[in-house]
Amino acid sequence: MYNGYSPYNFNQMSFNQPSTIQNLAQTSATQAQIYFVSSPKDMEKVQPTINVMYVGINREKNEIYLRQINNAGLIDFNTYTLATGGQEKNEFTKIMERIDNLETKLSKGVIDANNNANGASGSENANAGATAESSVNATV
């Protein structure tokens, strides 16, 4: 007997029945194993297994090494390095530093202009202290 789909065969058609969606790639929980190492070569000694991430911490160089097997079956090895010894500055701190820099530049410009005017008072062509006009469309 033929069991193919036929629009006239209502026995095989199901109306308003819930269907379940199955995921093809079932993921299992990833585990982590942490080691304290002195170089990246120490992490090469670790034989990785599936769904396990191996973390190597190098306190002397401020580096972290990650080693794991990817979905293609190859071993991934990533190195993360601390770029600076300090924390990243937030936007408010950056803005305040720029304002401080502008203040010092402006006050230095005023002092330099006053020094030029006071130091050149003996000649006829003395510079009376040039002042720079501030830009209306200045960006900070």
Which two tokens mark 68?
Answer: 């794991």
Report pLDDT for 3: 53
Strand-by-strand arrangement of the 52-58 sheet:
31-36, 52-58, 63-69, 75-81
- The whole-number pLDDT of residue 96 equals 92
| b/e map 20-38, b = 16+ CB within 10 Å | eeeeeeeeeeeeeeeeebe
Q: What is the pLDDT of residue 122?
A: 47
What is the pTM (predicted TM-score) of this model? Answer: 0.42
Instruction: Identify the pLDDT of residue 126.
Output: 47
Percentage, residues of the chain above pLDDT 90: 27
140 residues of the chain, pLDDT tens digit each:
455 555 555 555 555 556 666 565 656 677 999 999 999 999 988 888 888 999 999 999 889 999 999 888 899 999 998 877 666 778 888 899 999 999 998 888 766 666 665 555 444 444 444 455 555 555 55
